[in-house]
Structure 1
Amino acid sequence: MIEGSLPRLELWCELQCPDCRTALDDVRALRAEYGDALPIELRHFPLEKHKHAYAAAQAAEEAFAQGLGWPYVEALLDRVEDLEARGEAVLLEVAREVGVDAEEVDTALVDGRHTLIVDADQAEGKAIGVTGTPTYVIAGQRLDGGQSQEGLRERITALIEGAKAP
């Protein structure tokens, strides 16, 4: 059990980004170390160069609405190349695989019910200086993760430990 309250870790992510799949390994390791004591929030930052990223963010939000957001995100990031090659059909396949109602995902993509969330995340990301993915924000500090994973987890852990409430 971790004593003290831990700061929230924001992972600014793009679900068609190969570097974000690597970031998922960091998230899994941090979850293993801190468990539920470390709140981890996915923030969307779809990049224009990936044509399915915006739809993937919307689909992920529908999965979160159904209580299966992280399993969906993890499964989708494990299929980045498939999403690139086959497009949005993969979003529905992944939904079915993890138990998300794929019909609701499809409906959400059509009616745009989650666009406000994705747009707000993207605007906030730009406002705080996010330029690429993955980017981590913890204890008010931004760490750009797309450059090198070397030592990144250790820097995140140091920020978590340094921000613990006494």
Structure 2
Amino acid sequence: MIYAEDTVDAPEAALAATEHSLGESHASVTLLEYGDYECPACIRAEPLVRGLIATTGPRLRFVFRHYPLVELHAHAELAAEAAEAAAAQGQFWPMHQLLFSQIHKLTLPDLAAYAESIELDMIRFNGEMADRIYTQRVQEHRRAGEQSGLQTTPAFFLDGKLIDVSDGFGKLEDAVRAALAGK
């Protein structure tokens, strides 16, 4: 387990235009999450993150990266690939929200139903999922997290500093609010 006071080489500086982000790229505070769509703690964190995004306005940039714990969650990597397939059609965030709201319904038929519900091009979606063309991108996200020393999800970096949420998400909310108050 990594704690907030540990030194971690956060990938914050390497945030690219291709990241899945909400908010302005020049926001005063950036919150980066490494998450897994099948992780119970990530599922519990999602409403808090959505609330922070909604209440902080343009001062917060939120970035999501995949960190599927394939050793524990059999469908996590495939769900992340479905999110990437949706992103390729400009629908990452609708798929992201669906994946977190459909607890443990992440089989390929479930993912296809979610894709259809957000009106993706299903021929393209099904082909990309069958060919697993987003596996590499998902694994790149995971490797970046591993290089930062991560072993579990969710993991949150606030302006490059890892926030310890092992005791609950109150620390995350307090840290975001304090960072915004200081800027």
TM-score, with length taken from structure 1: 0.84
Give the structure 2 partner of residue 125 of structure 1.
145
Give the structure 1 partner of residue 111 of structure 2.
91
3-state SS of the aligned residue for 1:104? helix
Q: Deviations over 1:27-66 (max 9, x none)?
A: 2111111234422111000002111111111110111121
3-state SS of the aligned residue for 2:54? helix
Cα gap change, 1:128/1:161 in structure 2, threshold over 3 Å: closer, same or farther?
A: farther
Query: In structure 2, how many angstroms separate the alpha carbons of the residues matched to 1:27 and 1:64?
Result: 20
Contact 2:29–2:180 (CA under 8 A) maintained in structure 1: yes
Query: In structure 2, how many angstroms separate the alpha carbons of the residues matched to 1:96 and 1:37?
Result: 33
Query: In structure 2, how many angstroms separate the alpha carbons of the residues matched to 1:18 and 1:101?
Result: 30
1:1-166 aligned at under 5 Å gives the runs: 5-47=27-69, 48-83=71-106, 87-145=107-165, 147-162=167-182, 164=183
3-state SS of the aligned residue for 1:148? coil
Query: In structure 2, how many angstroms separate the alpha carbons of the residues matched to 1:150 and 1:5?
Result: 22
Greater mean alpha carbon deviation, residues 38-47 or residues 105-114: 105-114
Give the structure 1 partner of residue 10 of structure 2.
none
- Bigger fraction of residues in helix: 1
3-state SS of the aligned residue for 2:150? coil
TM-score, with length taken from structure 2: 0.77
Contact 1:23–1:145 (CA under 8 A) maintained in structure 2: no
Greater mean alpha carbon deviation, residues 47-56 or residues 100-109: 100-109
Gaps of 5+ in 2: 1-25
Moved over 4 A (4+): none
Query: In structure 1, how many angstroms separate the alpha carbons of the residues matched to 2:57 and 2:120?
Result: 24
**Across the two proteins, how many residue pairs are aligned to each other?**
158
Contact 2:27–2:61 (CA under 8 A) maintained in structure 1: no
Structure 1 position 68, deviation (Å): 1.2
Gaps of 5+ in 1: none
Contact 1:134–1:144 (CA under 8 A) maintained in structure 2: no
Cα gap change, 1:131/1:104 in structure 2, threshold over 3 Å: closer, same or farther?
A: same
Cα gap change, 1:50/1:149 in structure 2, threshold over 3 Å: closer, same or farther?
A: same
